[in-house]
Amino acid sequence: MTETLAHGCLTKMAVEPGAPARYTLRAGDDRLPLDSLLGEPLRLAWSGAIACTNCGRATRKSFGQGHCYPCFKRLARCDTCIMKPELCHYFQGTCREPEWGESHCFQPHIVYLANASGLKVGITRATQVPTRWLDQGAVQALPILEVDSRQQSGFVEMLFKGEVSDRTNWRAMLKGETPELDLAAERDRLFAQLASGLDALRERFGESTIRPVEAAPRTFTYPVLEYPTKVVSHNFDKRAEVAGRLMGIKGQYLMLDSGVINLRKFTGYEIVVSHGVS
């Protein structure tokens, strides 16, 4: 006996900080709080349809997390400089959407240290704190610098990447075995090592454009009954139905006793979420 809980095209799960974090699955207009479903059997079935999250048209393949190919090639949010902000070409007059760039890229950004599977550096818009850290499954995070634009944050991140990774090992993150770090001590160590590089960036962009952030480290917990000892991933493109008992949620992953699935990866996919097993 099954009960339909949600139906529609996926967007990334909404998450709010808490002890533990609170997740809501979003499928079309349906909103499904997941906390009360921990330990329960769930079934997620993909219909085979994908809709572009920007224009709504049907697409056989999703590009750039939920876009059809024309939107992927046209939208500034899908351009290479979003992933590599130091490649921003706004001032060359070639930004795909100058007004969008002005509202999203020319606003304060945070450079941070986080611990999801080990020490990493990252960047995010100031308005996305702490959502960005929860989306990554971080158990600790510390903002260390604030800058005036996304491009500037990209240059700062490049500097830090010479000393620390900018990536999360998602398999290690999902096993829940990440040791606690002293992020304040790591910040101080990196500031000392990279002082000359930071001075050079301030000279280039202006002394006040790259500012230290006075903040205490934050810690996060997640709604997890049991972490997997071996991480096996589900993929709608290989198998249209995913079923199992919901053992936890962390980052943008559902952790089932049958394997894990990154829902953000399947943005735009039309799914039916059911309670119980058929």
Angle, CA 267 vertex, CA 112 and CA 111 arms, to 5°: 10
Task: Note the pLDDT of residue 12.
Answer: 96
Beta bridge partners of 63: 67
Alpha-carbon distance values, 237 to 7, 90, 234, 242 (Å): 18, 36, 9, 11
Instruction: Write down the pTM of the prediction.
Output: 0.93
Alpha carbon separation from 133 to 15, 25, 112, 122 (Å, rounded) = 10, 18, 9, 9
Q: CA distances (Å), 3 to each of 9, 74, 241, in order?
A: 18, 40, 15
As a whole number of angstroms, the distance between CA 129 and CA 165 comes to 20
Give me the tens of pLDDT residue by residue for the chain, a chain 278 residues long.
679 999 999 999 999 999 999 999 999 999 999 999 999 999 999 999 999 999 999 999 999 989 999 999 999 999 999 999 999 999 999 999 999 999 999 999 999 999 999 999 999 999 999 999 999 999 999 999 999 999 999 999 999 999 999 999 999 999 998 999 999 999 999 999 999 999 999 999 999 999 999 999 999 999 999 999 999 999 999 999 999 999 999 999 999 999 999 999 999 999 999 997 65
d(CA 69, CA 32): 29
The whole-angstrom separation of Cα 278 and Cα 272 is 13
Rounded to whole angstroms, the Cα distance separating 90 from 104 reads 12
Domain boundaries, the chain: 3-66+223-275, 72-219
**What's the confidence (pLDDT) of residue 276?**
76
Judge whether 10 and 268 are in contact, CB under 8 Å. yes
Nearest in space to 246 (alpha carbons), one of 44, 21, 19: 44
Instruction: Give the pairing of strands 259-262 and 253-256.
Output: antiparallel
For 91, the token pair is 């001032």
